[in-house]
Structure 1
Amino acid sequence: MRILHTSDWHLGQHFMGKTRQMEHQALINWLLNQVTELEVDAVLIAGDIFDTGTPPSYARELYNQLVLGMKARQCQLMVLAGNHDSVAVLEESQALLGALGTQVVATVADNNEQQLFSLFNRDHKAEATLCAIPFLRPRDLLQSEAGQDGQQKQLSMQAAISEHYQQLYDAAKARGLPVVMTGHLTTVGASASESVREIYVGSLEAFPTSAFPAADYIALGHIHRPQKVGGLEHIRYSGSPIPLSFDEARQQKQMLLVELNSQGLSGVTAIDIPLFQPLASIGCDVSDIRSQVSDLVVSLEPGQRLWLELVLKSQHYLSDLQTRVAEQLDGLAVDLLRLRRDRQQSPGIARQQQETLDELNPEEVFARRLASEDLDDELNFALVERYQATLAELKEAK
């Protein structure tokens, strides 16, 4: 059978004031074509289907379009919650989507059997067993113990996650079919990007690869860069399908076509995803802006505009900086979304003193303010979730 592994869609994301609605619509259309052309039996979305816990209405509409499109193609869809997703939002339509062939797993179930699903081929024959594991919150697996230090909390969380995976694997293995597992977490050695936020705060920095059971394939989400985990063929991050930050602009985004036979994993093929919205981050001096940007603009398709971040190498304060940059970009098909100076050139306190609010996005400001407080893990996590929800509400109200 053939499974398409993807993750971290972040429907409803606003990228520095720009909506991603067009890109996500194009992504859904592309995916549905791939399902047909590649004869895909099931699609796994390993977390973060939405960008916030209160997604805007158009993001929910896109989600529904995906579900209906998969139903029309008789392809199973498995949606796992990520750290950005609201359990309540995903569960409110769980029963309805189940009737349409989409299974949604938003949190840890009371009974392990509720997290086990059969994956069927086009003849509706069960070919594999899926251990559907969403983002695991500390409160889902652990009871808080007074007096634990940071290291003890980390070890307790690691042990609890490992035990949950092993229990599900043992139950799935008893069915006698190849076992596929999912997860939404950071693993040891995974290469992240600036759009990936720490999800376990101080409780768990990264989950060791050796703690995973011997499943035939483990489909992971949360890290936006496609990669093998520990160089292993069967443990993979698919990465996000569109760039979610400027440091992802040069990445070739992918989905992974996973092929299974009765013996287990028979192959994994990376399927390249088209770039639906050009974006770029350029480091240069003010005088070089036009020449460097012009080289990128010539490759745009008719009607397209480049979303641009400029990282200026000069550390000197320029009172007319905005005017000089605007003159350099005049007449080019470019939307300048962020202008900042190269922070690598001025270390420590000196660097922070030269930064202005114009060079920071709201997430960076919030993260720095939060880091200045001595908060326990649960409160820290709750504040991050509330901040994301408030941002989503403000964007929806506009």
Structure 2
Amino acid sequence: MKILHTADWHIGKKLHKHGLHPDFDLFTDWLCDCIAENKVEVLLVSGDVFDLANPSSEARQQYFKALMKLKRLDCKIIITGGNHDSPTMLNAPQEVLRELDIHIIGGLPNEISDCIIPIKNKENQTELVIAALPYLRDADLRTASQGNAYEDRLEALRKGIQQTFLDAAEICKTQYPGVPAIAMGHLFAAGAETSKSERDIQIGNQAAFNALQFGDYFNYIALGHIHKPQRVNAATPTFYSGSPIPLSFSERSNRNRILLLNNETGWEPQNIEIPGFRKLLKIAGTLEILQQKLWELQPRSGLASLIEIELKEENFDSNKIYELDQLVDNFKVEGYEIVKHRATFENKISGSGELYEEKQQLEDIKPLDVFQKLVDRQEEDEDTRQELLSAFNEILEEVHQSKQV
């Protein structure tokens, strides 16, 4: 039997307000081809189906379209909720989808046995069992008797995670003796490498779970939550499949993949690399360097490459900020889009609160005096200084007039 492990779809994700829905559509089309080509019988999605707990109608529509595409392949689908998902929202169509052989476990049910899903072969024999454990929230893991002290809470969370996996293993062992078992999980395992787009879970990473505590019963543990594909040090093969598409610029170098298992040949998964549907580019340097690098870009087809720009200069110069804005506004190369830009200066201008001695209170000083000192700190010619002061005076006068109305 062939099993495919993926996770962290984050449907509805926006990267600097730029929607990634075309990327996900291309991924699901590719995934369908991959499942058909490899004759996959079970698809596991280990949490974070959506990027938001209350996804948009467009994101929900994309989700159901993806499920229908996958279902046409006669593949059993098992989906668990992640920390980004709403258990109630995911579970709402649970009964209807189950009739289509699509199993959804949005949150930890009252009976953990409801997470245990047997997989039957063509002879109607149970060939594999899946412990589909979703993201485990504080309320799932702690009791009032365990105290509220910070360290007590962390320890309770770790023990709660461990006990949940041990309980699931015991049910698999008792109800399906001798049948291989896979556990799904959505959590942060100690030692895993994260990216900026990932949110800490269980009171931050200080509650990171030691994967050695998963036990040794399961043949494979299919994890989600960490977007970078990686193996975790555990008693049995334990892997993060990673997200199928880059979800932040910090993930632009990730080699996104899915993991393919064949229980007839063992439990070491085969990496299948996902093609890159668009590039994420990060360009940094002086204004001259930025201009040169943008000028060197060659037009391309397909999804637009997204660009993040950082201007780096030694001394603060408001003109440089203006020129950066102009550079971005006037940038037009087919197949590229600048989605974020910012400026950083090694020698930053002091904030208004730092311009006066400690004995002086900022509220006791006239606004024009504060602005005058800020202007004096900039390397501007006299004409520019006067223009700035004149403009500030106009704004100040408008403020005073609005207060009198």
TM bucket normalised to smaller: 0.7 to 0.9
Q: Report the CA distance shift for 1:341/1:37 in structure 2 as closer, same or farther (over 3 A).
A: same
Contact 2:183 2:222 in 1 (8 A): yes
Quick check: 1:220 aligned with 2:219? no
Give 2:80's aligned residue: 80
Give 2:308's aligned residue: 309
> Aligned letter for 1:245?
S
Once residues 87 and 80 of structure 1 are traced to their aligned partners in structure 2, the CA distance between those partners, rounded to angstroms, is 9
Once residues 164 and 179 of structure 1 are traced to their aligned partners in structure 2, the CA distance between those partners, rounded to angstroms, is 15
Contact 2:256 2:273 in 1 (8 A): yes
Give 2:257's aligned residue: 254
Contact 1:153 1:204 in 2 (8 A): no
| Structure of greater Rg | 2
Write the mapping of 1:51-200 to structure 2, written as runs, cut at 5 A.
51-121=51-121, 125-145=125-145, 148-174=148-174, 175=176, 176-200=178-202
> Aligned letter for 2:192?
A
Give 1:210's aligned residue: 212
Contact 1:286 1:325 in 2 (8 A): no
Q: Report the CA distance shift for 1:146/1:19 in structure 2 as closer, same or farther (over 3 A).
A: same
Give the Å deviation of 1:230.
2.1
Contact 2:188 2:205 in 1 (8 A): no
Once residues 335 and 106 of structure 1 are traced to their aligned partners in structure 2, the CA distance between those partners, rounded to angstroms, is 36
Structure 1 unaligned regions, length at least 5:
355-398
Give the Å deviation of 1:341.
4.4
> Aligned letter for 1:335?
E
Q: Report the CA distance shift for 1:336/1:351 in structure 2 as closer, same or farther (over 3 A).
A: farther
Quick check: 1:283 aligned with 2:284? yes
Give 2:318's aligned residue: 319
> Aligned letter for 1:285?
T
Give 1:229's aligned residue: 232
Once residues 231 and 205 of structure 2 are traced to their aligned partners in structure 1, the CA distance between those partners, rounded to angstroms, is 24
Contact 1:243 1:249 in 2 (8 A): yes
Give 2:355's aligned residue: none
Once residues 142 and 226 of structure 1 are traced to their aligned partners in structure 2, the CA distance between those partners, rounded to angstroms, is 30
Q: Give a deviation string over 1:46-92, Cα, whole Å, max 9, x none.
A: 00000111111121112112221222111011110000000110111
Contact 2:185 2:221 in 1 (8 A): yes
Once residues 342 and 270 of structure 1 are traced to their aligned partners in structure 2, the CA distance between those partners, rounded to angstroms, is 40
Instruction: Name the count of aligned residue pairs.
Output: 346
Q: Report the CA distance shift for 1:122/1:301 in structure 2 as closer, same or farther (over 3 A).
A: farther
Once residues 273 and 181 of structure 1 are traced to their aligned partners in structure 2, the CA distance between those partners, rounded to angstroms, is 24
Identity between Structure 1 and Structure 2 (%): 28
Larger relative contact order, structure 1 or 2 (CA cutoff 8 Å, min sep 6):
1
Q: Give a deviation string over 1:273-294, Cα, whole Å, max 9, x none.
A: 1122221122322211133345
> Aligned letter for 1:118?
P
Secondary structure of 1:28's aligned partner: helix
Once residues 146 and 172 of structure 2 are traced to their aligned partners in structure 1, the CA distance between those partners, rounded to angstroms, is 35
Q: Report the CA distance shift for 1:146/1:170 in structure 2 as closer, same or farther (over 3 A).
A: closer
Once residues 27 and 349 of structure 2 are traced to their aligned partners in structure 1, the CA distance between those partners, rounded to angstroms, is 39
Once residues 283 and 46 of structure 2 are traced to their aligned partners in structure 1, the CA distance between those partners, rounded to angstroms, is 32
Contact 2:146 2:156 in 1 (8 A): no
Once residues 279 and 167 of structure 2 are traced to their aligned partners in structure 1, the CA distance between those partners, rounded to angstroms, is 44
Secondary structure of 1:4's aligned partner: strand
Give the Å deviation of 1:170.
1.4
Q: Which runs of 4+ in 1 moved over 4 A?
A: 121-125, 350-354
Contact 2:158 2:207 in 1 (8 A): no
Secondary structure of 1:252's aligned partner: coil
Give the Å deviation of 1:306.
1.9
Contact 1:216 1:265 in 2 (8 A): no
Give the Å deviation of 1:38.
0.9
Once residues 258 and 322 of structure 2 are traced to their aligned partners in structure 1, the CA distance between those partners, rounded to angstroms, is 39
TM-score of the superposed pair, with normalisation by structure 1? 0.80
Give the Å deviation of 1:124.
5.6
Quick check: 1:239 aligned with 2:242? yes
Contact 1:119 1:129 in 2 (8 A): yes
Once residues 324 and 112 of structure 2 are traced to their aligned partners in structure 1, the CA distance between those partners, rounded to angstroms, is 61
Give the Å deviation of 1:20.
1.2
Secondary structure of 2:31's aligned partner: helix
Structure 2 unaligned regions, length at least 5:
353-405
